[in-house]
Chains A and B, each alone.
Chain A
Amino acid sequence: MITMTCDQIRDLAPAYVLGALERDEELAVAEHLRTCPDAHAELAELGGVVPYLDEVVPLVEPPASLRGRIMAAAVADLAARSGERAEAPIASPAPRPETGARQAPGTMGQVIPISAARSRRDRRSWVLGLAAVLAIVALGTWNIRTQQQLADAQSYQQRLAAALVQAGQPGSQVAVLASTGGPGPGPGGIAVMPANGAGILVVSGLAPTTGSQVYEAWTIAEGQPPAPVAGFTVGSDGIGYLDRMPTSTGQTLTVAITLEPAPNATAPSSTPVAAGVAAQRGVGG
């Protein structure tokens, strides 16, 4: 750290306000200003005009794609931030290798296996990459007209970000849920079964529930009947959310969502509207 006298500050003032010092000198000036009893009015006298130099640059519009890049980076940053919060209190156990499980029959949707052998850094960048992709997709179709829609979109983004961060934790099993209704737009989302504690499910594009209707989430292990997880209702935003997904067992698991006429169904009454498979833990990706 360079220390400077008041005389040196006065000498460097023109270069400082124009940004023409080396960065370590600049830091030394800022440090001096922070603690110096002298207000160094000469800096304001010289520097006050500097922002007006910006007014003379020839104006050029940035490419339209830059907005998406910046928004995607902000979403990824949001995901990383909530990840830091989530990681802090949890002592991650070493993932146990699981072998012998086979792919469940009737595979629906996409599979994203998360290898327990991958480094933490790899996982983080994988999550951020997916977050960025989803953000670009979301922004491309964003057509927000009301404050409520705005709040819905933000809430969805934040929940999605939370789910993506959880997906990046060591030992998490992840199912990407896709519509089972054939081609065209339909519900889609993500379900995470973490190594510890409760997981998150976020689905968008669901038809709103009416009356006593609920959507029920199910987990289906190979050779077992569907086990109910919990029910949730959906409003006009079409977004469903559960924060009670089970802890990962390490085995391949299908996650499915059905529309039920009433809560607390013990077996599905209809075919799933969306489903996906969470691969067994420890499968390389």
Chain B
Amino acid sequence: MSNIDASVRVRQPSPADDADREVLDRVAAGELDALDTLYDRYRTMAYSIALRITSDATLAEDVVQDAFLGAWRNAGRYSESRASVKTWLLAIVHHRAVDAVRRRRPTVELPEREDVPPPQLTLPDLWPEVAGRLDRDAVQGALRVLSDVQREAIELAYFGGLTQQEIAARTNAPLGTVKSRMRLGLLAMRRVLLGEVGAFAGLGPDEVAG
């Protein structure tokens, strides 16, 4: 518990975060050029995530369009979210991309609903103030400490759009095992990344991560 409190307490919006909020306020007011700015900032990340999940360029374009239009319509509700604008927007992209691949599967009956908030929007960002410094190398380094089965479970869940039951079926593992792999994998990543954050912030890992 205390480690969560500590990490939430150190959260301070970065300048990029503030600039994003300003843009999003204008998006909420229906200003087209603000949407254009938001698109410029995050189009590459958004499209790359959608493409990684759908493996289909046409579908990925539809997902990104759908997500930016969702952001355009719902920007006024951003303040309910505890995440940074970047996380908020990319969580919408992720959510729509997963919907798109699940809808493509003939066996899945997906309800047509937009009222399910992406999970990341119900959670606070952990370290947005150092997000820019937690680069690709750091995250790849954190993924490397996972066991193969942990990494597989996390990737099938986050990038494969599979449910935990589907992961269990796909990997021939009991559901409880899949849950443990995801849980332990996420905690291991957290330890490694918080260690990096602690180093950046001039704190020992103990002080940040507990």
- The answer to whether B52 and A57 have CB atoms under 8 Å apart is yes
Query: Most A CB atoms within 10 A — which of B47, B87, B113, B193?
Result: B47
A74 close to B (CB within 8 Å):
yes
- The answer to whether B52 and A58 have CB atoms under 8 Å apart is yes
- Chain A at the B interface: mostly helix, strand, loop or mixed? helix
Residues of A within 8 A of B156 (CB): 20
Question: What's the tally of chain A residues with a CB closer than 8 Å to chain B?
Answer: 56
Residues of B within 8 A of A157 (CB): 32
Q: What distance in Å separates the Cβ of A251 from its nearest Cβ neighbour in chain B?
A: 36
5 closest A-B pairs by CB: A48-B126, A14-B182, A20-B157, A62-B47, A18-B157
Q: Mark B131-145, 1 if CB is under 8 A from A, else 0.
A: 100111001101100
Asked whether A55 and B134 contact (CB < 8 A) given A15-B164, A23-B113, A26-B119, the answer is yes
A:51-88 near B, CB below 8 Å: 51-63, 66-67, 69-71, 73-75, 77-78, 81
B24 close to A (CB within 8 Å):
no
- Sample 11 A-B pairs with CB under 8 A, ordered by A number: A17-B123, A47-B186, A53-B154, A55-B134, A57-B51, A59-B44, A74-B68, A75-B32, A81-B30, A144-B33, A157-B32
How far is A75 from B117 in the complex, measured between Cα atoms in Å? 25
- The answer to whether A77 and B119 have CB atoms under 8 Å apart is no
Asked whether A33 and B122 contact (CB < 8 A) given A18-B157, A22-B163, A52-B134, the answer is yes
A:19-56 near B, CB below 8 Å: 19-24, 26-27, 29-30, 33, 41, 43-56
- The answer to whether A21 and B64 have CB atoms under 8 Å apart is no
Q: What distance in Å separates the Cβ of A23 from its nearest Cβ neighbour in chain B?
A: 5
B21 close to A (CB within 8 Å):
no
B158 close to A (CB within 8 Å):
yes
How far is A217 from B156 in the complex, measured between Cα atoms in Å? 63
Residues of B within 8 A of A13 (CB): 183
Residues of A within 8 A of B113 (CB): 23, 27
Nearest A residue (CB) for B53: A57
- The answer to whether B47 and A67 have CB atoms under 8 Å apart is no
Residues of A within 8 A of B39 (CB): 67, 70-71
- The answer to whether A20 and B126 have CB atoms under 8 Å apart is no
Asked whether A51 and B118 contact (CB < 8 A) given A14-B183, A19-B98, A21-B163, the answer is no
How far is A54 from B64 in the complex, measured between Cα atoms in Å? 15
How far is A58 from B157 in the complex, measured between Cα atoms in Å? 18
- The answer to whether A45 and B163 have CB atoms under 8 Å apart is no
